[in-house]
């Protein structure tokens, strides 16, 4: 039930004419537009194609809803249209995709993407110079650390995530077992997001929490075999293991190896971070029993109030549940819609100003992200509660913070 949108011949033809006109540097005069265009640049082919396709599904659903409800009211009901481009498998392709979209669609007012933080970096170099406001879920520090004015990070920063994840996990542990963990092990890959997450922890964050780092292993993905990794965990005997893995295949190897070494199912308390730990494909591959009770923090996950929207998504796409990718893309479209309404014009600079001034606590946009939708001058969100999801009966559900939870969390204990 995937909605694949093939360009019609008319669109193709007019697209060509427009492209040709663009090529010669002519700008069309758009007074009161019939449609407003926003962009999505995400990997649609290549090793990360799955992620991009999920994002597209979420965005498409939002666009349909927005238009059904009357489009952009401030622009006399103009329809919102999504133009997607494939970021492919390299930063060069991602940059080209961004440049192409911008050149062929001079009337773009906003965009979202590009999933992989290096792609997001490359794409935003283009969008910044074109003054196109760009929303992203990527949370490596560098993205909003360049002094750019047109990049907006919907995820809390890595540092913030690190600050929030551990104390909550420790609290849960203490509440359930009566003991507060004293030593910690970290297993992570060396991609940008986990590195940003772990950095503040290693630089004093752990000490502040009274945790001693006894196992600290960083590997280059993709992992070939997790045996030496888990062996080190076994000999290090931490009270607690933090998993910062950004790819599903690595998750599978690590979780299964923990099981093999009889460290799973509560024997070694485990907290993860990142949405790859909540994907349906993970469950398909390793089975629900290994995942039961697995707790992970994530920047965004469907929470209380989203149930109906999630049902619609499931019916529409056939996916068993909604993950961060679809949800944030959905939310990004609504944020853009709100911004365009407030800007009152299909003008990207005005839309960017509107995003900077925005403060949403209700509505579909606010319901897609935890915490209020508000961006500081660096494009970062503040005061974002960290969501924890937990696998319960084969589905990862939000369990923390209590006001957003759809189920109660429990601490996995040794049987």
Partner 1 sequence: MDLPPFLAEFLQAFAAGVTVGGAYALMCIGLGIIFGSMRVINFAQGDFLMLGMYVAFYLTTGYGILSFLGPYAGPIIAAFLAGPVVFAIGWVVHRFIVARVTGLGVAASEGAGAYGQIIVTLGLSLILQNGGLIVLGSTPTGIRTPLSRSSWDIGPVLLNQARVVSFLVAVALVIAVYLFLARTRIGKGLRAAADNSTAAIYMGIDVDRAHRIAWSLGVGITGVAGGLLASSQSFQPYIGFDFVIVMYAGVVLGGLGSILGAFWGGLLIGMVQQMSTLVLPYQLQNTAIFVVFLLIIFLRPQGLFGQLSERT
Partner 2 sequence: MRSPAARRRWAILAVVVTVLLVSFVIRSAYYQLVLTQVLLWAVLSLAWNILSGYSGYFSFGHAAFWGLGAYTVAVGMIDFDLTPWLGIPLGAIVGGLAGAVIGYPTFRLRGHYFALAMLAYPLAMLYVFQWLGYQEVTLPMKREWPLLYMQFADQRAYAVLALGLLALALVVSLRVENSRFGMALLAIKQNEPAAEAAGIDTWRWKMRAIMLSGAFAGMAGGLYAVVLLVVTPESVFGMLVSAQPLILALFGGVGSLWGPVIGAVVLVPLAEGLNGELGDVLPGIQGVVYGVAIILIILGAPEGVYWRLCDRFAKLRPAPRIATGPAAAVARSPATRSVAGGELLVLRGLGISFGGLRALDSVDLVVRQGSLHGIIGPNGAGKTTLFNVVNGFLAPGSGEISFAGAALTGLRPNQVCRRGIGRTFQVARAFPRMSVLDNVIVGAFVSARDDATARRMAKAAVDRVGLADRASTIAGGLTTRELRLMELARALASQPRLVLLDETLAGLGPDDLAGILSVIRQVRDEGVTVLIIEHTMQAMVQLVDEFSVLDHGRLIAAGRPDEIVRDRRVIEAYLGRRWIDRVADVVA
- 68 vs 33, 287, 305, 310, 391, CA distance in Å? 17, 39, 21, 18, 34
Task: Determine the 3-state secondary structure of 177 from DSSP.
Answer: helix
Within 298-317, which residues bind partner 1 (CB under 8 A)?
Answer: none
Task: Rule CB under 8 A: say whether 292 interacts with partner 1.
Answer: no
Do the bridges between strand 387-392 and strand 295-298 make them parallel or antiparallel, or are there none, so unpaired?
Answer: antiparallel
User: 402 contacts which partner out of partner 2, partner 1, none, CB within 5 to 8 A by kind?
Assistant: none
User: 3 contacts which partner out of partner 2, partner 1, none, CB within 5 to 8 A by kind?
Assistant: none
Pair 369, 306: CB distance under 8 Å:
no
Stretch that binds partner 1, among 47-55, 133-141, 164-172, 370-378 (CB under 8 A): 47-55
The values of phi and psi at residue 36, to 5°, are -115, 135
Stretch that binds partner 2, among 113-121, 180-188, 236-244, 389-397 (CB under 8 A): 113-121
Instruction: Sketch the per residue contact string, 61 through 100, with partner 2: x for CB under 8 A, - otherwise.
Output: -----------------------xxx-x-xxxx-xxx-xx
Q: Extract the tokens encoding 386.
A: 């960290």
- 45/76 with CB nearer partner 1: 45
* 296: Cα within 13 Å, side-chain hemisphere: 27
Stretch that binds partner 1, among 77-85, 228-236, 321-329, 384-392 (CB under 8 A): 228-236
Considering only the C-alpha atoms of the chain, give the largest distance between any 2 of them, rounded to a whole number of Å. Answer: 71
- Supply the minimum distance, in Å, between the C-beta of residue 256 and partner 1: 4
Task: Rule CB under 8 A: say whether 128 interacts with partner 2.
Answer: yes
Stretch that binds partner 2, among 65-73, 101-109, 273-281, 323-331 (CB under 8 A): 101-109
Task: Rule CB under 8 A: say whether 89 interacts with partner 1.
Answer: yes
Task: Rule CB under 8 A: say whether 231 interacts with partner 2.
Answer: no
- 257 vs 34, 165, 222, CA distance in Å? 56, 24, 15
Tell me which of 92, 260, 311, 376 binds partner 1, using CB under 8 A.
Answer: 260
Alpha helices in 28-157 (DSSP H): 49-68, 91-104, 117-129
User: Omega of the bond prior to 114 within 30 degrees of 0, cis?
Assistant: yes
Tell me which of 18, 176, 209, 285 binds partner 1, using CB under 8 A.
Answer: 285
Whole-angstrom distance, CA of residue 269 vs CA of residue 271: 7
- Supply the minimum distance, in Å, between the C-beta of residue 273 and partner 1: 19
Task: Rule CB under 8 A: say whether 225 interacts with partner 1.
Answer: yes
- 44/354 with CB nearer partner 2: 44
Task: Determine the 3-state secondary structure of 284 from DSSP.
Answer: helix
């Amino acid at each position: 039930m995937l909605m694949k949108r093939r360009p019609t011949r008319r669109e193709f033809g007019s697209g060509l004419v427009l492209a040709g006109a663009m090529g010669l540097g002519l700008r069309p005069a758009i007074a009161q537009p019939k449609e407003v265009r926003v962009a999505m640049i995400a990997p649609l082919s290549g090793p990360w194609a799955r992620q991009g396709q999920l994002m597209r599904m979420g965005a498409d659903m939002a666009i349909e809803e927005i238009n059904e409800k009357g489009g952009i009211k401030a622009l006399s009901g103009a329809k919102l249209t999504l133009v997607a481009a494939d970021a492919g498998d390299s930063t060069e392709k991602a940059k080209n995709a961004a440049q192409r979209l911008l050149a062929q669609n001079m009337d773009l007012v906003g965009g979202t993407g590009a999933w992989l933080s290096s792609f997001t970096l490359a794409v935003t170099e283009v969008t910044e110079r074109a003054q196109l406001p760009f929303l992203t879920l990527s949370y490596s520090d560098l993205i909003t650390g360049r002094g750019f004015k047109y990049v907006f990070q919907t995820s809390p920063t890595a540092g913030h995530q690190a600050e929030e994840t551990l104390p909550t996990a420790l609290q849960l542990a203490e509440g359930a077992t009566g003991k507060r963990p004293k030593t910690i092990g970290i297993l992570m890959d060396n991609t940008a997001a986990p590195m940003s997450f772990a950095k503040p922890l290693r630089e004093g964050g752990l000490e502040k929490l009274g945790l001693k780092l006894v196992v600290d292993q960083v590997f280059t993905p993709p992992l070939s075999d997790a045996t030496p990794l888990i062996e080190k965990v076994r000999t290090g005997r931490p009270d607690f293991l933090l998993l910062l893995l950004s790819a599903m295949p690595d998750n599978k190897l690590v979780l299964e190896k923990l099981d093999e070494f009889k460290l799973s199912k509560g024997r070694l308390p485990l907290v993860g971070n990142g949405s790859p730990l909540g994907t349906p494909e993970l469950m398909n591959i390793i089975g629900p029993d290994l995942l039961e009770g697995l707790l992970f923090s994530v920047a965004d996950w469907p929470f209380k109030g989203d149930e109906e929207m999630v049902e619609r998504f499931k019916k529409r796409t056939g996916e068993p549940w909604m993950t961060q990718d679809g949800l944030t893309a959905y939310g990004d479209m609504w944020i853009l819609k709100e911004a365009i309404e407030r800007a009152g014009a299909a003008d990207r600079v005005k839309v960017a100003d509107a995003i900077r001034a925005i403060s949403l606590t209700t509505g579909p946009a606010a319901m897609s992200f935890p915490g209020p939708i508000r961006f500081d001058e660096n494009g970062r969100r503040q005061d974002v509660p960290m969501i924890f999801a937990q696998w319960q009966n084969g589905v990862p559900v939000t369990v923390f913070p209590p006001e957003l939870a759809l189920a109660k969390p429990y601490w996995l204990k040794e049987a």
